[in-house]
Amino acid sequence: MYDPKQDVFATLFKSLHPLPPEHHPAAARSLKLLAKIPKDAEAVLVLVGCVEFLEQPAMAFVRLSEAVLLESVLEVPVPVRFIFVLLGPCQSNVDYHEIGRSFATLMSDKNFHEVAYFADDRQDLLNGINEFLDCSIVIPPSNVEGKDLLKTVADFQKQLLRKRKERDGKNPEEEEEAEQEVDPLKRSGVPFGGLIHDIRRRFPHYISDLKDSLDMQCIAAVIFIYFAALSPTITFGGLLGEKTEGLMGVTELIVSTATLGVIFSLLAGQPLLIIGFSGPLLVFEEAFYKFCQAYNFEYLTGRVWIGFWLIVIVLVIVAAEGSFLVRYISPFTQEIFAFLISLIFIYETFSKLIKVTPASPRLSNFEGPVFNQPNTALLSLVLMMGTFFVAFFLRKFRNSRFLGGKARRIIGDFGIPISILVSVLVDYSITDTYTQKLNVPSGFSVTSPEKRGWLISPFGDKQPFPTWMIGASIVPALLVFILIFMETQITSLIVSKKERRLVKGSGFHLDLLLIVVLGAICPLFGLPWLTAATVRSVTHVNALTVMSKATAPGEKPMIQEVKEQRLTGLLVAVLVGLSMVMTDVLRLIPLAVLFGIFLYMGVTSLTGIQLYERITLMVTPAKHHPDHIYVTKVKTWRMNMFTIIQLACIVALWVVKSTVASLAFPFILIMTVPLRRLVLSRIFEERELQAVRFVSFMEA
């Protein structure tokens, strides 16, 4: 029977004239079409033709009491519920096929086929046709280009639909207000109101979060995201060890990622987020370490007081429902932040690769004998680029025409593990050339036991911590909070987009509170604070996305659902923690292989940002520009000027992070918000700024 929630209605168009046997569709093609038609769909049989014995057209529309499967009538075995017949004389100016096609279009309209199901008489059908025509637009012949015409038609049709709602007694403004009532960023005016709303909205789904995790796709996602999370954890851990001279390193980052990941997965409002270390946090850690070295402060003790002030700041912000401020972070700032993260991924990849080659002065850091040094440099480069290209092309293979859809999806989902396995086997087979392997700590010990233990004293270890610095720590704490706030909230926005069809809600206030408070406790144990990792989180959501199989013939698959659950993030965190006891296996992985994964994550996230696309358009002739809205609605020179301003901001941020002023990096980043709202709004028209919209990670 008819399901009113079913958006797709199978409408099949047939002629009375039978097709010759050689034109009948193959059985295999019929099965493919049937797989794309929703379950319990019912068909409309449209029969038109001309006969010599009629003097004027005759038409009939029949609704059966129950759908009947008519053999050898339709191309696919779908039960027929409606039959439309139109016969007329051959000598007529009427185009019967066009009338049949028009009726098929009418029946494909959701509102009219509901009328057809419940109509009691002819007048009900006529009223339904009039209603359809009231919201239809007749386009006369014109010289207007297609893209401009479609924009005009879309705007006009919105007005027609608005009038229909008003005529039906529905107030569009009330409907908009109803939508805003479920807006997680809307302020309630009550202290901690947003946090309470997040808890009330999200935790009733806790049982379903556990049940929905019992799916094979979730298991595949765990394996995939484990490697995607382990690679930056190991790489950032190594970089952190270098920047802090061993005070924090791989061990501390693994413990922090695993512990906080488990707790966050159990309590988060949006458990699809993957928390981890990021490039901007690395910039701050390096800057604060240099500051402490310059003024003879204990670095780890200073981090403890920063953590204390972080708790105070986040409690104030959450109490004031400060997550609504994310509304003011425009696409201008989002793109700059996203582009900078991608650049840090790519830059650190090649920077780290140079340091592990024998030509580096750090050659003494190699473990084991060193021989065939030139071959080591070459093999490291080959392994890195090989890992990158295998992972990248397996990702592209997912949308290719080879093999079946399920096989392509499996290969695409396991692209990173496959690329790692292939590169490790290549390295293992070349026995006469040394490559530096992954240095995973054995046992539960800090990176530098001779310098520190697991507990950090708030009052100093080797010397007393200055009293005035305890209060002054609120300044670096504010900078850390800005970084965590921006990356966490922007990632939450991207993950919670309407296009993803998430149904269990989000938790902007709750997640921010959890991440900051948990991260603020970490300095007591000498662990790094974390944030919602944008690239890893979006990769996680993509791995859990289910595309619709039952689509109308010719339509592109749509997002059917996302496996919203807590198990995958929990297991990924547990596996990252268990990496400390899998040392024998992980030490077979060359560092260059992980650099390839690092490069893969940087490049794939970079190519999904509109800023990157506009940069390529700056060196592309105008005649080859695509028909994107930011190309057609904005003059080329003004689009390039907007792009150059963003690039100037990125250069400024890069310069700041690379100098002694790197502590000011978060402040310079947040200043791009008023730059967009106060300065660019005077240079560019609002329609131009609206056209240059944000394209989020991994959409390309």
pLDDT at 622 over 80: no
Nearest to 675 by CA among 248, 245, 332, 221: 332
Band of residue 310 on the pLDDT scale cut at 50, 70, 90: very high
Strands 43-51 vs 80-89: parallel, antiparallel or unpaired = parallel
- Placement of tokens 């010289």 in the chain: 143
Lowest mean pLDDT among 20-29, 267-276, 415-424: 20-29
Q: What angle do CA 409, 226, 376 make, to 5 degrees?
A: 100
Q: Residue 684: enclosing H or E segment and its boundaries?
A: none
Between CA 370 and CA 380 the distance in angstroms is: 14
Band of residue 262 on the pLDDT scale cut at 50, 70, 90: very high
Between CA 384 and CA 391 the distance in angstroms is: 11
pLDDT of residue 2: 37
Express each pLDDT in 381-392 by its tens digit: 888 888 888 888
Express each pLDDT in 157-189 by its tens digit: 667 666 666 665 555 554 444 444 456 777 777
Highest-pLDDT range among 54-58, 142-146, 313-317, 446-450: 313-317
Lowest mean pLDDT among 47-61, 135-149, 197-211, 472-486: 135-149
pLDDT of residue 328: 74
pLDDT at 347 over 60: yes
8 A C-beta contact, residue 55 and residue 88? no
pLDDT at 469 over 70: yes
- Segment 548-552 shows an average pLDDT of 56
pLDDT of residue 428: 85
Lowest mean pLDDT among 14-23, 308-317, 643-652: 14-23
pLDDT at 311 over 70: yes
Express each pLDDT in 313-324 by its tens digit: 999 998 988 878
Considering the chain, what is the average pLDDT of its residues? 76
Nearest to 193 by CA among 107, 319, 11: 319
**Which residue has better confidence, 548 or 16?**
548
Band of residue 142 on the pLDDT scale cut at 50, 70, 90: low
Q: Residue 441: enclosing H or E segment and its boundaries?
A: none
Between CA 286 and CA 179 the distance in angstroms is: 44
- For residue 92, give the amino acid letter: S
**Could you give the percent of the chain with pLDDT greater than 70?**
76
Burial (CB count <10 Å: 0-12, 13-18, 19+), residue 626: exposed
**Which residue has better confidence, 122 or 163?**
122
Please count the helices (runs of H) and the strands (runs of E) in the chain: 30, 8
**Could you give the percent of the chain with pLDDT greater than 90?**
4
**Which residue has better confidence, 25 or 254?**
254
**Which residue has better confidence, 356 or 204?**
204
Lowest mean pLDDT among 407-411, 467-471, 524-528: 407-411
pLDDT of residue 399: 66
pLDDT of residue 514: 92
pLDDT of residue 164: 64
**Alpha helix positions (H), 356-466:** 373-397, 405-413, 415-429
Please, what's the b/e burial string for 271-298 (b: 16 or more CB within 10 A of its CB; e: otherwise)?
Answer: bbbbbbbbbbbbbbbbbbbbbbeeeebb
pLDDT of residue 603: 81
8 A C-beta contact, residue 47 and residue 99? no
Nearest to 16 by CA among 64, 56, 73: 73
Highest-pLDDT range among 56-60, 111-115, 359-363, 693-697: 56-60
- Segment 560-572 shows an average pLDDT of 85
Give whole-number Cα distances, 321 to 186, 327, 507, 661, in Å. 9, 12, 12, 31
pLDDT of residue 365: 43
- Segment 267-295 shows an average pLDDT of 85
pLDDT of residue 562: 81
Express each pLDDT in 204-239 by its tens digit: 888 888 888 887 778 878 877 887 788 778 777 877
Band of residue 349 on the pLDDT scale cut at 50, 70, 90: confident
- Segment 77-90 shows an average pLDDT of 85
pLDDT of residue 195: 87
pLDDT of residue 356: 66
pLDDT of residue 315: 92
- For residue 643, give the amino acid letter: T
pLDDT at 566 over 70: yes
- Placement of tokens 């070459």 in the chain: 378
- Segment 465-476 shows an average pLDDT of 86
Strands 80-89 vs 275-276: parallel, antiparallel or unpaired = unpaired
pLDDT of residue 147: 57
Express each pLDDT in 384-433 by its tens digit: 888 888 888 887 776 667 776 667 777 776 777 788 888 888 888 888 77
Between CA 585 and CA 661 the distance in angstroms is: 41
pLDDT at 296 over 60: yes
pLDDT at 144 over 70: no
**Which residue has better confidence, 576 or 14?**
576
Express each pLDDT in 87-111 by its tens digit: 888 877 777 888 888 888 888 777 7
Between CA 33 and CA 204 the distance in angstroms is: 39
- Segment 527-548 shows an average pLDDT of 81
8 A C-beta contact, residue 489 and residue 537? no
pTM of the model: 0.67
Which residues, in sequence order, are CB contacts of 114 under 8 Å at separation 6+? 4
pLDDT of residue 22: 41
Between CA 682 and CA 675 the distance in angstroms is: 10
> E strands of 11-55, at which residues?
11-15, 43-51
pLDDT of residue 633: 67
